[in-house]
Amino acid sequence: MVEAVNDALHVELARDESVLVLGEDVGRSGGVFRATAGLRERFGVDRCVDTPLAEAGILGTAVGLCMAGWRPVTEMQYDAFSYPCLDQLITHVGRYHWRTGGGMEFPLVIRMPYGGGVRAPELHDDSPETYYVHTPGVKVAIPSNPADAKGLLTAAIRDPDPVVVLEPKLIYRSERSDVPEGEHVVPLGKARLAREGDDLTLVAYGAMVPLCERAADVLADEASVEVLDIRTLKPLDEDALLATAAKTGRVVIVQEAPRVAGFGAELAAILAEKAILDLRGPVLRVTGYDVPYPYWKIEDAYMPSVERVVDAARKLLRF
Amino acid sequence: MAHVAQGEPELRRVIDEDREVDGLGDQELLELYRSMVLLRTYDERSVVYHRQGRIGTYAIFWNHEAMQAGAVHALEDDDWIFPSYRESAIGLLRGMPASTILHWWRGHPAGWWNPADYNVASICVPIATQVPHAAGLAWGKKLKGERACALAFFGDGATSEGAFHEGANFAGVFQAPLVLFCNNNGWAISTPVGAQTHAEALVDKAAGYGIPGVRVDGGDVLAVYEATREAIDRAREGGGPTFVEAVSYRAAPHATADDPRAYIDLERVELEKQNECLGRYERYLRRHGVLGDDLDAEIRREAAELMRAGIVEAEAEPDADIALLFENAYANPPASFAHDLAELRRVLGGGLG
């Protein structure tokens, strides 16, 4: 999957001279996950820039780069290291277009590896999507497979608004599948039906999508399970969410972020507001807990697992 | 590497030394005066408008006009200005209508402007976060091979913020053509500069970024102009950023909502008022035979007229339609906005009433 990210960056930097990449260790080393490998050699030091170690500085200078006519693609090295950039994100990135009365666009991208399950040290495992989704003026996409990783990043780079792309590092190397060559765009705001079914829907994004597919396999003898991959948290494909709820009448939402006020709560609220008569039981959530992301000897207990998803699905099927 | 304290331990001064500045003829000296009068008039009228309930809370910049006009006159029109709220009216010096800025302080969306129309960024309300923007713009212009530079205004308190540090550091590393202009008026609301830093002078920070620093009398418009122009010339020639510390003393409240009597040195304020920057410059111009009574009266009348017209225009602006709530949040808005707006119209009926 990380090769698909790298592919998208190569294609877009070649296509549009105003696209540049900046971040920590993106140039000389090609990124700690190799997402930016080869860019500096191919496009030069001015288009793939190793910056000082300062996330707010990276995003703040990206705002100024937009004003100078660039389309900056910033990399935050890890999910939890992105928090300093929230200052710029909330106070400026999400507001500047509005503040200019629509006069100026800020077509910047913030991409980062995110999420747990990789046996990493503290603060290398967070799922920070809610902070980003909750910021007006900012769009958020999360791919679950290599083709979408390329297509969503491409759409993000071309979008006139600031877009955050969270790349699930749990499946950076494990998810392997064919990726279209050359330019490949997956439009923002379109969910993907990962699997069709009739009795129950598992709604997820990122690394939780392949997990839900495994859970659907386990449940195969008991129920026909649909899996909806949200793909873009904002703008959200509400029609796809409501359509699957209308079809199966049973929805389990799976997210690895802490449960409280997580994105799953937003999805559940939409179902409560707009799908109540379609539902045959409560909307259930399988999530991380309201605790700091644990050290890795016990992280498997924190992360949603096939067992927890199957258990929730069975409860709902029996409701 | 940095000039800092060893190069210029004293404040750079021009007016008190009765020097002249290269490149400033009578015409330029008067333009500078016009700008200062315009800013002063804007500021004094705004305090009145606030008391009359015609604008909202307002951040006063009385006695900061020398720093603002001196710095901006050292720029070319292609150069970008990144103001803090203390420089809210800086757009006046780039031809922005007074009504636009008055709209901003009246909380009306007509107070937004497109920065590219004036090369003036939006007014930055949080502290120091505009510094990395200015560094990014200057660096971005340099990468494109354009000659434009940038100047970021910020106060003494801003130098405590991480955003200042990150912006200054990025500008140094990328040798961005940027002037970091610190208006050190001694106070961040009620906190004195001595409680912001243990450094002897803010300009000493320049050394940490490997960039030149210069310290000027912030009440001396010609010293500010001269120092900023040197910094801009160096930036344009590829010499990277400069830190300019302009030292003054805040002789007015932080804002219309502030009462400084609880914390400020009132005797010092009185001294500062007697030596305020516009009067100092006016006396200099009269001493040098550049300004006389008639011309002064005309310049002040023009400024007053511009403000009168500005407030009339601002107050004549119709209320904003509620559609503006949604219109510019995204360049490419989500479909849900249309539904939200329709619902809001249904509930509100005729409008906000």
Q: Which chain A residues are Cβ-neighbours of B109 within 8 angstroms?
A: 101
- What pLDDT does residue B353 have? 58
- What pLDDT does residue A175 have? 78
Over residues B78-112, the pLDDT tens digits come to: 999 999 999 999 999 999 999 999 999 999 999 99
Over residues B294-316, the pLDDT tens digits come to: 999 999 999 999 999 999 999 99
Choosing from B229, B254, B280, B281, the catalytic residue is: B254
Query: What's B211's domain CATH number?
Result: 3.40.50.970
Same domain, B81 and B52: yes
Could you tell me the pLDDT band of residue B39, with boundaries at 50, 70 and 90? Answer: very high
| Number of structural domains chain B divides into | 2
Residue A139 has pLDDT above 70, yes or no: yes
Mean pLDDT, to the nearest integer, of B226-243?
98
Among B118, B119, B151, B328, the residue to mutate for chain A (most A Cβ within 10 A): B328
A69 → closest Cβ in B131, B144, B329: B144
Superfamily of domain A2-171: Thiamin diphosphate (ThDP)-binding fold, Pyr/PP domains (3.40.50.970)
Residue A42, both tokens? 């191919």
Same domain, B133 and B203: yes
The yes-or-no answer on residue B103 being catalytic is no
Same domain, B198 and B293: yes
Average per-residue pLDDT for chain A = 97
Task: Locate CATH 3.40.50.970 in chain A.
Answer: 2-171
Which structural domain, as residue segments, surrounds residue B341? Answer: 321-353
Over residues A254-286, the pLDDT tens digits come to: 999 999 999 999 999 999 999 999 999 999 999
How distant is the Cα of B338 from the closest Cα of chain A, in angstroms? 13
Residues of B near A (Cβ–Cβ under 8 Å) read 80, 109, 112-117, 121-122, 125-126, 129, 131-141, 143-144, 146, 150, 162-163, 166-167, 169-170, 173, 327-332, 334-336
Dist. CA A204–CA A286, nearest whole Å: 10
Beta strands in chain A (DSSP E): 19-23, 48-50, 71-75, 109-114, 139-141, 163-168, 192-195, 200-204, 225-229, 232-234, 251-258, 284-288
Whether complex ipTM tops 0.85: yes
Per-residue buried b or exposed e for B309-319, using 16+ beta carbons within 10 Å of the residue's own CB = ebbebbeeeee
How distant is the Cα of B330 from the closest Cα of chain A, in angstroms? 5
Q: Which chain A residues are Cβ-neighbours of B141 within 8 angstroms?
A: 68
B334 contacts A236? CB cut-off 8 A: yes
A92 contacts B133? CB cut-off 8 A: yes
Dist. CA A218–CA A274, nearest whole Å: 30
CB atoms within 10 A of CB A26: 26
Over residues A163-184, the pLDDT tens digits come to: 999 999 999 988 788 999 999 9
Same domain, B96 and B121: yes
Query: Which residue does chain B place closest to A19, by CA atoms?
Result: B140
DSSP 8-state secondary structure symbol assigned to residue A24: T
Same domain, B283 and B331: no
Could you tell me the pLDDT band of residue B349, with boundaries at 50, 70 and 90? Answer: confident
Fill in the amino acid letter for A75. Answer: E
- What pLDDT does residue A194 have? 98
The pTM assigned to this predicted structure is 0.96
Average per-residue pLDDT for chain B = 95
Residue A84 has pLDDT above 70, yes or no: yes
Over residues B244-274, the pLDDT tens digits come to: 999 999 999 999 999 999 999 999 999 999 9
Task: Locate CATH 3.40.50.920 in chain A.
Answer: 192-318
Dist. CA B127–CA B210, nearest whole Å: 23
The yes-or-no answer on residue B49 being catalytic is no
- What pLDDT does residue B350 have? 64
Same domain, B210 and B304: yes
Dist. CA B60–CA B104, nearest whole Å: 14
Same domain, B122 and B228: yes
A101 contacts B114? CB cut-off 8 A: yes
- What pLDDT does residue B4 have? 39
Alpha helices in B158-254 (DSSP H): 162-173, 205-208, 221-234
- Does domain A192-318 fall into CATH 3.40.50.920? yes
- Phi first, then psi: what are they for B35, rounded to 5°? -65, -40
B332 → closest Cβ in A99, A136, A160: A160
Taking a C-beta distance cutoff of 8 angstroms, is the pair A312, A286 a contact? yes
DSSP string across B226-270: HHHHHHHHHIIIII--EEEEEE----S-SSTT--GGGTS-HHHHH
Over residues B142-162, the pLDDT tens digits come to: 999 999 999 999 999 999 999
Could you tell me the pLDDT band of residue B9, with boundaries at 50, 70 and 90? Answer: low
Q: Which chain B residues are Cβ-neighbours of A65 within 8 angstroms?
A: 136-137, 139-140
Residue B172 has pLDDT above 50, yes or no: yes
- What pLDDT does residue A176 have? 83
Over residues A148-159, the pLDDT tens digits come to: 999 999 999 999
Quick one: residue B187, left, alpha or beta (phi over 0 = left, psi -120 to 50 = alpha)?
beta
A60 → closest Cβ in B136, B327, B332: B136
Would you say the C-alpha torsion B262, B263, B267, B269 has a positive or negative sign? Answer: negative
Query: Which residue does chain A place closest to B127, by CA atoms?
Result: A91
Query: Which residue does chain A place closest to B135, by CA atoms?
Result: A61
Residue A100 contacts B, CB cutoff 8 Å: yes
B327 contacts A57? CB cut-off 8 A: no
B331 → closest Cβ in A20, A54, A161: A161
- Percent over 90 (pLDDT), chain A: 98
Same domain, B130 and B236: yes
Per-residue buried b or exposed e for A295-315, using 16+ beta carbons within 10 Å of the residue's own CB = ebeebeebbbbbebbbebbee
Contact residues for B332 (Cβ-Cβ < 8 A; gap 6+): A159, A160, A161
Choosing from A10, A92, A124, A184, the catalytic residue is: A124
Residue B8 has pLDDT above 80, yes or no: no
Same domain, B109 and B233: yes
Could you tell me the pLDDT band of residue A312, with boundaries at 50, 70 and 90? Answer: very high
Fill in the amino acid letter for A222. Answer: E
Same domain, B195 and B247: yes
A91 contacts B114? CB cut-off 8 A: no
Dist. CA B153–CA B130, nearest whole Å: 9
Same domain, B223 and B247: yes
How distant is the Cα of A104 from the closest Cα of chain B, in angstroms? 6
